[in-house]
Amino acid sequence: MWYNINIKKLAILHLPTVLRKAREIKFLLSLVKPLSRIHYDWLLLRNENIYKLNHNSQVCYLRKTLNDRFDPVERRILISDSQIYKQNYIYTEGENKPYKLGNSSSTDCGPMYLRQASDYNLTSINFVVKVPNELLIDNINKIKAIIDYYKLANKKYKIEKL
């Protein structure tokens, strides 16, 4: 393609044949070495930009991006929808009821589980990213940065240990 340029070879080919001696070639290669480095950095940036353009905020692409970056072998990072639980009314402090949940006299009532407030609210969390603990310890800020880059602006997320 047009961007695959061998700068060393191109520099030698533009050198007149009379000057193509080992000493002159080494001098010429030392002059074009910074240009070769800039070209290499540009190729890396180009590949990174193509990768970013090929991925978007869909769950499958976001999961692939996170697994490619942080867990390429085992691919344990998962993304799931947040589960919204039905709110159970217990009582307020003003009602002065005992601190006891559930109805002990009724046999059809199962145990009542208390959850975080974010589990009940529809507007709080849209999806949950489940990451293994060993990956979460060192890379929490990098994971957040990648998720923030790809997610839609109105979506909120929570990172949990797997």
Tell me how far apart the alpha carbons of residues 84 and 121 are, in angstroms, rounded to a whole number. Answer: 7
| Higher pLDDT, residue 56 or 1 | 56
Q: What is the pLDDT of residues 64-117, one digit of tens each?
A: 999 999 999 999 999 998 876 766 667 666 776 665 665 555 555 566 667 776
Mean pLDDT, the chain, rounded, equals: 87
Q: What is the pLDDT of residues 16-31, one digit of tens each?
A: 999 999 999 999 999 9
pTM of the model: 0.71
